[in-house]
Amino acid sequence: MDILDRILLEVQKPARYAGGEWNAVCKDWDGVKVRIAFAFPDVYEVGMSHLGLQILYGLVNSRPDSLMERVFAPWPDMEEKMRENKIPLFTLESRRLVRDFDLVAFTLQYEMTFSNVLNMLDLAGIPLRAGQRAGNYPLVIAGGPCAFNPEPLADFFDLFVIGEGEEVIGELLDAYQAGHRRGLAREELLLALARVPGIYVPSFYRVDYNEDGTIREVAPVRQEVPERVVKRVVRDFDRAFFPVRPVVPSMGVVHDRIMLEVLRGCTRGCRFCQAGTIYRPVREKKTETLLKQAAGLVGHTGYGEISLTSLSTGDYSRICPLVTELLGQHGRRGVNISLPSLRVDSFSVKLAEEVQKVRRSGLTFAPEAGTQRLRDIINKGITEEDLMEAVTAAFLAGWPAVKLYFMIGLPGETMEDLDGIIRLARETLARGRSAGVPPGRLRATVSASSFVPKAHTAFQWEPQSTLTELKEKQAYLAGRLRGRGLVFNWHDVAASFLEAVFARGDRRLGSALEYAFRLGCRFDGWTEFFSFERWLEAFRRAGLDPSWYAYRRYECDDVFPWDHIDTGVSKQFLALEHKRAMKGGTTADCRLGACMGCGLCPGLAVEPEFAGGNGNAIV
């Protein structure tokens, strides 16, 4: 027994590090030209629930010239054993050292995993800062939603992929191989990669600051790289690669089921939602494509549930025929269909009732705000009547419990909006009682997260509410959301504060992040490991005030740290959406009416009337 096998007997959940799962791919190391370690900066159970990992893993391994293996953030007990026994970070498939790969590719799903990124690099024996990597160290790259503001991590990554990975990964690998054949040095290789559309190499850009600390300009230092890096988009969703032989985890994970992506993108236009911007435009798969993929997934995994995934699955235009066909083909085998994202309407409940005839799971609705005034400000597009019809339909259909998701600290929020949350929760219980739900089973769970201003949204100009304000609002709700059948959950406001700092941050935050890692910050998204005091000490050592990032209100013409990253949705459109929000106006879903001129559709620009003139623009 080698030392690693011995260690696995001494840690919690050794299956996190063992590999050997069903459908895992082990390729000949010497038989390929490019070797990639896909690094997920969180624990195995979270990473193996990520569909993007499965897509890129299958796509790269389908190429005869490349291989991809997986590595996840080791849990603290495993990290302790690894450091004690001087075992560097290794991949699951071959147990090869991460530093021996050509590329180490991180996915950045959540700002609170940033300290894990640095910890994984350190465990791998790779210098933290890109400028310190010479010789044969791998290129450290990243993609994912947090790459749309890459600046807080700019010092640590050689390059970022902006946009959808399956669209650009082939070109990146081809350019990498071509550069190696030419014998390019590291900087010239990065320059060649920077010519691939959607690739951002931060070392080729200069950041200039004003005297007050704001950004004057982010500009290229090499003429060969673009001033703005435009995101990559999969145009033909039916022909895009989708894995029908995903790796099946060898232990329970967060989403332990088939994930069948039915559409990508959302045009509902919630003004706080970054995903609604960065994943535009909306692209649907044909029903026949989905049926074929579902059959392959059921046959190659053994799962008993198909989850129809997207930002808003109920918006899939052929959802009813799809569900009918899937149930007809797989329901008799005990395969359940689930919808993780539901609209707040009674149609969604009827649909959920139909798809969950095999096994019934919970229902979650997201009104987001407690009053219609605030729902109009955030452009949620639902009414109280919609919500009450939905929860009533759920109770009548046999669900004894529902969950309601809200945000607090939204721009324009007042105490009346908090009272609205309380009233909606109590009215939900009243609807349950009227529907005949037994008192002992009736439950309404209210979850309240704190608003975090995100890059590339209409609310990117807005500050976050202060820690004191958010705590007071949580206490106000907690004191009133009591009684039989009521449950209130909330998020740690300190973690939300740090999320806002890094979501709106610039390159100067890199030093604070490194200090935080040196002070022992790990798994900051996990309550049991998060230490706000360590983070405050890290900012103190870096000479930075984190509240300047979270609480600052941007002016309309200010330069954002992320302005050189182009999502395709114009800053002008977002500014007009911000202006409309402050006036309480709403914007229609462009899939249901006229184009609103966000900038994604070629040849269409924002019309002057869009600022609030005609009846078609503001509804």
CATH code for the domain in which residue 342 is found: 3.30.750.210
Residue 241 lies in a domain: no
Q: What is the pLDDT of residue 619?
A: 26
Last residue of a domain, one of 360, 389, 407: 360
Residue 245 lies in a domain: no
Residue 248 lies in a domain: no
Residue 127 lies in a domain: yes
Q: How far apart are the C-alpha atoms of 375 and 384, rounded to whole Å?
A: 10
- Do both 19 and 37 map to the same domain? yes
- Do both 277 and 194 map to the same domain? no
- Do both 65 and 191 map to the same domain? yes
Q: What is the pLDDT of residue 84?
A: 96
- Do both 339 and 373 map to the same domain? no
- Do both 269 and 347 map to the same domain? yes
- Do both 317 and 394 map to the same domain? no
Give the chain's mean pLDDT.
Answer: 93
For residues 214 and 225, the answer to whether their CB atoms sit within 8 Å is no
CATH code for the domain in which residue 417 is found: 3.30.750.200
- Do both 287 and 372 map to the same domain? no
- Do both 60 and 161 map to the same domain? yes
Residue 237 lies in a domain: no
Last residue of a domain, one of 305, 339, 360: 360
Name the residue range of residue 550's domain: 362-508+544-554
Low-confidence ranges of the chain (pLDDT < 50): 1, 603-619
pLDDT tens for each residue of 492-513:
999 999 999 999 999 999 999 9
Residue 275 lies in a domain: yes
466-473 CB contacts, 8 Å cutoff, 24+ apart: 466/547, 466/551, 467/493, 467/494, 467/497, 469/409, 470/408, 470/409, 470/496, 473/408, 473/409, 473/418
- Do both 262 and 206 map to the same domain? no
Number of domains forming the structure of the chain:
4
Residue 536 lies in a domain: no
- Do both 432 and 577 map to the same domain? no
Residue 87 lies in a domain: yes
Q: What is the pLDDT of residue 224?
A: 92
- Do both 280 and 207 map to the same domain? no
Burial class of 134 by CB neighbour count within 10 A (0 to 12, 13 to 18, 19+): exposed
- Do both 432 and 581 map to the same domain? no
